[in-house]
A = this chain, B = another copy of it.
């Protein structure tokens, strides 16, 4: 099973005290290999070794400046993987959805189960398809062509959910919106993330 390996690899990446300490150090900000080696009292090759594993699991990113490589946390993926894993293990994907409906489309069921009567988003779906449906539902209330400041957008999102930062990021990530010079604007619908047959 594909999904399973991915999740196991995520946990393998975190199943080592040295790598955990690296992430901990990086939570303060980026660091280069040498600095990490020193802080951890390890050789540089050892740091390279662990960095490779963390990179494979998409938990860190790297940038090169001259001949020094700076490592940084990738908090978005750390969070995504943590949620996906929890979901996978406990099948909590369905916990809001009491039972998988048969006579209604996925979209209807997401709208019914993840949004409260007052229209607020109960929780961000962790399953990919469902998340996209929820995002799209919100994004459809934005005005095409209008330029939103970050503040505007945050306020808009807060109507639905407190965690505006995550949702704003998702809007960009899935190409519902784009940002230029700190101004956010809707993408044309054709560019919105397409996913397989969500009827």
In the assembled complex, which residues on chain B have CB atoms less than 8 Å from the CB atom of A7?
14, 20
Copies in the complex: 2
Tell me the bound Cα distance from A87 to B76 in angstroms: 13
The answer, among B27, B90, B116, B162, for a CB contact under 8 Å with A73, is B90
Interface flags, A102-122, vs B, CB<8A=1, else 0: 000000000000001000001
Interface flags, A22-43, vs B, CB<8A=1, else 0: 0110010000000000000000
In the assembled complex, which residues on chain B have CB atoms less than 8 Å from the CB atom of A21?
4
Size of the chain A interface, CB-CB below 8 angstroms: 32
Whether A163 lies near B89 (C-beta < 8 A) is: no
Whether A15 lies near B20 (C-beta < 8 A) is: no
The answer, among B4, B20, B78, B163, for a CB contact under 8 Å with A17, is B4
In the assembled complex, which residues on chain B have CB atoms less than 8 Å from the CB atom of A23?
89
